[in-house]
Amino acid sequence: MLKLENVTVAASNGDGEELEILNKINLSFETGKMYAITGPNGGGKSSLAKVIMGIYQPAEGRLYLDGKDITSTSITERALMGIGYAFQNPPRFKGLKVKDLLSIAASNRDHGNIERLLRVVGLCPRDYIDREADARLSGGEFKRLEIAMLLARNPRFVIYDEPEAGVDLWTFEQLLGVIAGRHKANASSTTVVITHNERFLRAADEIVLMAEGEVKERGSADAIWPMIEDDIACRWRTTCGGELDEAECYR
Amino acid sequence: MKLSAIDNTRQSRQLNPVDEQLLETIADLHGIPQGAYNIRKNGDLLSRMSSANIEIVSKQDKPGIDVIVKPGTKNESVHIPVLVTASGLHDLVYNTFDIGEGADVLIVAGCGIHNPGASVARHDGIHEFIVRKGAHIRYVEKHYGQGEGTGDRILNPRTIITLEEGASAEVELVQIRGIDSTNRVTEARVGASGRLIISERLLTHGAQHADSLITVELAGDNASAEVLARSVAQDRSKQVFRASLVGKARSRGHVACDSIIMDSAEISSLPELHALHAEAELTHEAAIGKIAGEQLIKLMTMGLTEKEAIDTILAGFLS
Ligand SMILES: Nc1ncnc2c1ncn2[C@@H]1O[C@H](COP(=O)(O)OP(=O)(O)OP(=O)(O)O)[C@@H](O)[C@H]1O
Ligand SMILES: [Mg+2]
């Protein structure tokens, strides 16, 4: 189980002012469950993933993995403990090839496995294994590679940040199958999918709704769905200094 | 068979383990090179082999060699490594390559310096290439320095390339670590329908200094040239990179210099374009920046330490 206790993350807004991008988050993710996190843009979903991965340090609060306090551990240590994160916007690497990144991710696995993983995410190994993982790969290709890298690591706590973004209509089903299938096949793994996609939301055991750096609701798809339909997120969106009143959300 | 075995007639000039390791680093040589070769050590000829199509002869008037490749020679290679393993040595050499019409060859040059002492060990090489009509060369030059001595390791290569009509050259200049001071001059003249690609890879560290000046003259119609430089400057090292394209005909040229700067290093990157013809199309891009934090973080999320992540990014960038 991964648990966040009163986690607050502050960042500077560029004008020397600190703002809280996560505000006193209390959340626990149980082993074996699949979670979907959704909510309006800027609501704090990716920031939550980053604080779990160790990329952001909390100003307050603590994180526990299976009861162990991991608040002050590094990114590398968390990776080695089995936490994995597929970025929303993964960085490109000049001069590193697809196979280089996958071998780093797999660390000790063989080449055959890398080829299998590429096929799993819908990239033909023959065409991609020697391509450079730089700006020349397309957005969707890169997103698939990012997922293959996470699969290669095979972490027990895995976060996908909008895996559906940029993935074409024809292979969306396959992607959903890969993520949900991997989850089902590993009883001891916890899967968190940050998503704006209904299919992913419905595939999850539990949905967490985040807005304004806070967890606003959590529950089963059946419980949360009506609230989403209600455009609940709109009410939590900062209302432009009061100009946008709540009623407008329902028009 | 080990390289030391090729010279069994001259026992005194056998390769020792330091030589073998330098050779492997600069020329990827693990044994006798295939084809023609000339190995020079501390200013003297160590070993040489001509082939049926590639003749290597010593110059009469000054130190150095003439390498003559017969017209039409294909899929052959010439290795001409230079080893400097003595302190206080200033080695100077002039090499000329005459590549016959329609030939297609690989030329691997390289200089490995192992300076064991406190005085300077220096090698200045002047390489001139005449690539005749329709011929193609791939020229790889690697520099590497090591040694426990405190003496500076200095390399000042000068490369002059003439591409005749329809000739092409791919030139790879690599210097990764170990050379304290380098002043590299590369001059090329590309004739009609000629094509030149120069890629340079450079990593400096400590208090090293590297200066590279590349000048390419696009002299004939449909000539093209690309200069692609990537460098990393670490510690207090300094780099100055100048690349100048001169378009004198209907031609195309592009310069791209991309550098990673670290610690308290300094880099100057100065691409220059001179169009002396209305149909010369010349472009450049230059960028200097730190290692992207996002890249480091991504690799750390895959279990690498920060140091491993930096090494991985630099190795990829310079590959
Ligand atoms: N390093 C940072 N510095 C300053 N502000 C940040 C930083 N990281 C996130 N923020 C801010 O925190 C808020 C939440 O960002 P986050 O990326 O977590 O949103 P999100 O819910 O993932 O949104 P989206 O759906 O658009 O991906 C945004 O307003 C963002 O600008
Ligand atoms: Mg996000």
- When pLDDT is cut at 50, 70 and 90, the band that residue A245 belongs to is low
Is position A1 within any domain?
A: no
Closest-CA residue of chain A to B307:
A76
Structure tokens given for A99:
């196979």
Number of A:B CB contacts under 8 A? 54
Q: Are B113 and B90 in contact (CB under 8 A)?
A: no
Residues in B closer than 8 angstroms to A93, CB to CB, are 295, 313, 316
**Does residue B32 or residue A201 have the better pLDDT?**
A201
Quick: pLDDT tens for A119-161. 999 999 999 999 999 988 999 999 999 999 999 999 999 999 9
Model pLDDT, residue B123:
86
Which atom of ligand 1 is nearest to A50's Cα? 18
Is position A175 within any domain?
A: yes
> What's the structural domain count of chain A?
1
User: Which residues lie with the beta carbon below 6 Å from any ligand 1 atom?
Assistant: A 11, 21, 41-47, 88
Is position A150 within any domain?
A: yes
Is position A197 within any domain?
A: yes
- When pLDDT is cut at 50, 70 and 90, the band that residue A25 belongs to is very high
Is position A4 within any domain?
A: no
- When pLDDT is cut at 50, 70 and 90, the band that residue A237 belongs to is low
Is position A65 within any domain?
A: no
Q: Report the CATH number that the domain containing residue A131 is assigned in CATH.
A: 3.40.50.300
Residue nearest to atom 11 of ligand 1 (CA): A21
Query: Which of A84, A93, A104 minimises the CB distance to B304?
Result: A104
- How much is the mean pLDDT over chain B? 90
Quick: pLDDT tens for B102-120. 999 999 998 888 888 888 8
Chain B, 241 to 280: residues with Cβ < 8 Å from chain A are: 258
- Residue A234 belongs to what domain range? 31-57+74-249
Sequence-distant (≥ 6) Cβ neighbours of residue A222 within 8 angstroms: none
Closest residue by Cα to residue A46 from A159, A178, A153:
A159
Chain B contact for A55 (CB, 8 A cutoff) = yes
pTM confidence score: 0.86
Q: Please tell me what DSSP assigns to residue A201.
A: H
Count Cβ atoms within 10 A of the Cβ of residue B22 and give its class: 0-12 exposed, 13-18 middle, 19 or more buried. Answer: buried
Q: Are A204 and A37 in contact (CB under 8 A)?
A: no
Residues in A closer than 8 angstroms to B318, CB to CB, are 95
Is A95 in contact with B300 (Cβ distance < 8 A)?
Answer: no
Residues in A closer than 8 angstroms to B313, CB to CB, are 93, 96
Q: Are B67 and B56 in contact (CB under 8 A)?
A: yes
- When pLDDT is cut at 50, 70 and 90, the band that residue B295 belongs to is very high
Is position A46 within any domain?
A: yes
The number of the ligand nearest the C-alpha atom of A210 reads: 1
Q: What ipTM score was computed for the predicted complex, to two decimals?
A: 0.93
Is A55 in contact with B319 (Cβ distance < 8 A)?
Answer: no
